[in-house]
Amino acid sequence: MYGGVEVGRYFSCGRGAEIGVAPHPLTGLSTHGFTVNNAWFPGIMGYGQADGSAPRIPSKGTTRIGHDVWIGAQAVVMPGVTINTGAVVAANAVVTKDVAPYEIVGGVPAKHIGYRFDEDIRQRLLASEWWNLDHDLIQRLPYRNAVQALAALEEMSGRSQLTNERNHEANWSASPQLGSVTGSRARACYDAAPFLSLKHTTYFSVYDHLFSRFIGKAPVIVEVGVLNGGSLYMWREFFGSDARIIGVDLNPEAVWLREDGFEIHIGDQTDPQFWEDFFRQVGDVDILLDDGGHTYPQQIVTAASALDHIRNDGLLIVEDTHTSYMTEFGGPSDTSFVSWAVNLVHGVNHRFSAFVEDEDPELRVWSVQFFESIVAFHVDRTLATVVSQSTMNDGAGRDAKDFRYRSDRTMTDDELRGYFRH
């Protein structure tokens, strides 16, 4: 470290890094140090002693390193730069401009690579000022997981963001843009959960899109696969304290979650009898989310058993449907879960009037949505049983002719298959 460097707490640095490097003069005969330091030519009488004989090097100001900053080996930080709290500088980088809180930079000159956390978490960490806490308190936190440690800090301080924002639901977007987790309510609740949960980044936008209309309406939620507990806490925050949240797991150790007010049922999701008994006890539900074992029997039996017990305008959600394409699960297969879901879509389309007499139409599910790794079944028996009839309004006609088969262009099956990319 050179002169004029300020360093915060919990700073760490790799070997050979240089911080606040002294600049070289650019306006003299040479950039060499002899133009500013007469020690280079001590034998020359009067060298460097006359007024104005040495070029002035303009000061770049203080170089500031925030709290919890990591600077990699052989990195160079130029003078006057501020590296804000939580930032990371990659090895061998040359930092020539300020680095934002929790930003990761690297390269020559250093450029933005990413952030350690989402913006919501970054702001809450900065607000916590955890680096000013006594060591005795820090060591009692779950500090190996920043989000869990933050939640514990906020609970202790009585200013949990999620608790406060529950009283300001209008601040949350009712339908965040798909594909983005910025500002995602689901992601914020997930990050704040005090226990482990595993979700893919693409899921949070789907949750926001599908579940926002249930917030604050005391829905009945069932999730399959809950042993670690984090997801149940996530849903409690997401839907509100009045939601009835029920967990299902095959592992009997999951009953520990009952201690915090969750209903827990232990059973095998591939057993239709288990589901019959379950719904006899629980009654109909608004949402069933299957995040269980992800095998085809587990997913198919669960979905088939639940559909009759989802309330009108409710949802059946099956996650991790990418297993339908994975060889370790037996895919691709015509008995995979995705194949079952497509088969159900056939039933939806067989409600069309031309087929309904000869086929077995699907009269519970109004529509099916396919997302990446998630299939959502929208249950509405009222809409699903609307009679399909051809209609014609009273507008003026033009005696238009049907040119459906007038095209000179014909295509073989092989040519059409060229459009089937997947």
Active site residues: 24
SS3 content of the chain, % helix, strand, coil (to 5): 30, 20, 50
Sheet architecture: strand order including 63-65: 5-7, 63-65, 82-83
Task: Name the residue among 328, 307, 309, 166 with its Cα closest to residue 239.
Answer: 166
With contact defined as beta carbons under 8 Å apart, do 205 and 179 qualify? yes
Q: How far is CA 299 from CA 34, 291, 377, 380, in A?
A: 77, 9, 13, 21
**Alpha-carbon span 117 to 121, nearest angstrom:** 6
Task: Using CB atoms within 10 Å of the CB of residue 255, give its burial: 0 to 12 exposed, 13 to 18 middle, 19+ buried.
Answer: middle
C-alpha 142 chain-centroid distance: 21
Q: Return phi, psi of residue 132, to 5°.
A: -90, 0
Q: At what angle do helices 296-306 and 337-349 cross, to 10 degrees?
A: 30
Q: Which residues of 52-81 are buried (b: 16+ CB within 10 A; e: fewer)?
A: eebeebeeeeebbbbbbbbbbeebbbbbbb
